[in-house]
Amino acid sequence: MKKLIAGNWKMNGGLEANAALLDALAQGLVNPPACEVAVCVPAPYLAQVQLLRAAKPTLSSIELGAQDVSDHANGAYTGEVSAAMLKEFGCRFVIVGHSERRQYHGETDTLVADKAKAALASGITPIVCVGETLAERESGHTEEVVKRQLAAVIHTNGHCISEIVVAYEPVWAIGTGKTASPEEAQAVHHVLRGQLKAATDQFARVKILYGGSMNASNAATLLAQPDIDGGLIGGASLKAPDFLTIIAAARN
Ligand code: 13P
């Protein structure tokens, strides 16, 4: 299976900076790239990135993604964005259950599962994030936490589960410069793969990405692990040379 390298711009960027970043990616990208590539951008910039993708043929190999979606289809939900709206702006992916949303916006396992369902219903692939905090890791609960988080999504999405992407993002590794070692990450990915295997005979289709301080220097060793099928990249996705290096490291 082709690996997937997805950038999560988080709440960064601006019209000018986005155009410059995409320009640099267009210039540096080997076409077609050996892996799938996506950028998950703040909602107000979806239209800008959609237009730039249409204007530059090299950018058409970079898929568009959003960072969150409502679990509702429409209605009186001020501030929310529906999956159908994301679809209209060309989104192929949407991140759901990022730890920053779980932590700062109180998102529960059930809500994350419902968001994944809303995305799938509109034909958008949810990138479902799971991951333990430092306290949970240190108290030996990593496996239990990630399995609980993924179980909710499996329970709500039934046989559609083979259509999701999973991202293992240990909370303690996000934006901290501390990366899970390739062995630590592989061990959790193996557990998640086993859980998917028990849920669907299509488990081999499900990509499991690693996220958390993945960068130009550590990407190759992480991506060489048998159960690491790509990366969800925060900080390093905002620097074109670094993001391009990670993309280049993701050939099979
Ligand atoms: P960093 O790569 O900045 O650690 O962020 C990872 C992340 O949260 C991607 O979703």
Predicted model pTM = 0.98
Q: Which domain range does residue 165 map to?
A: 91-252
Question: Which residue from 216, 196, 220 is spatially nearest to 206, judged by alpha carbons?
Answer: 196
How many domains does one find in the chain? Answer: 1
Which ligand 1 atom minimizes the distance to the CA of 176? 4
Q: Flag whether 64 is in a domain.
A: no
DSSP string, 217-237: TTHHHHHTSTT--EEEESGGG
Q: Flag whether 236 is in a domain.
A: yes
Q: Flag whether 13 is in a domain.
A: no
- Kindly give the distance from the C-alpha atom of residue 234 to the centroid of ligand 1, in angstroms, as a whole number: 3
Q: Flag whether 158 is in a domain.
A: yes
Q: Cα angle at 104 between 246 and 88, to 5 degrees?
A: 60
Q: Flag whether 207 is in a domain.
A: yes
- CATH code of the domain in which 137 resides: 3.20.20.70
Backbone angles phi, psi at 98, to 5 degrees: -55, 145
Q: Which residues contact 168 (CB under 8 A, 6 or more apart)?
A: 130, 131, 146, 185, 188, 189, 192, 208, 209, 210, 211
Give the separation between CA 252 and CA 249, rounded to whole angstroms: 9
Which ligand 1 atom minimizes the distance to the CA of 40? 10
8 lines ligand 1 (CB under 6 A): yes
Which ligand 1 atom minimizes the distance to the CA of 95? 10
By alpha-carbon position, which residue is closest to atom 5 of ligand 1? Answer: 234
Q: Flag whether 185 is in a domain.
A: yes
- Kindly give the distance from the C-alpha atom of residue 42 to the centroid of ligand 1, in angstroms, as a whole number: 15
103, 169, 176: residue to mutate for ligand 1 pocket, most atoms within 8 A of CB: 169
Q: Flag whether 56 is in a domain.
A: no
- Kindly give the distance from the C-alpha atom of residue 189 to the centroid of ligand 1, in angstroms, as a whole number: 17
Q: Which residue has the tokens 């950038």?
A: 7
By alpha-carbon position, which residue is closest to atom 7 of ligand 1? Answer: 234
- Kindly give the distance from the C-alpha atom of residue 133 to the centroid of ligand 1, in angstroms, as a whole number: 14
Residues that are catalytic: 98, 169
pLDDT digit string (tens) for the chain, length 252 residues: 999 999 999 999 999 999 999 999 999 998 888 899 999 999 999 999 999 999 998 899 999 999 999 999 999 999 999 999 999 999 999 999 999 999 999 999 999 999 999 999 999 999 999 999 999 999 999 999 999 999 999 999 998 999 999 999 999 999 888 888 999 999 999 999 999 999 999 999 999 999 999 999 999 999 999 999 999 999 999 999 999 999 999 986
Give the separation between CA 96 and CA 116, rounded to whole angstroms: 7
Q: Flag whether 180 is in a domain.
A: yes
Cis peptide bond prior to 44, omega within 30° of 0:
no
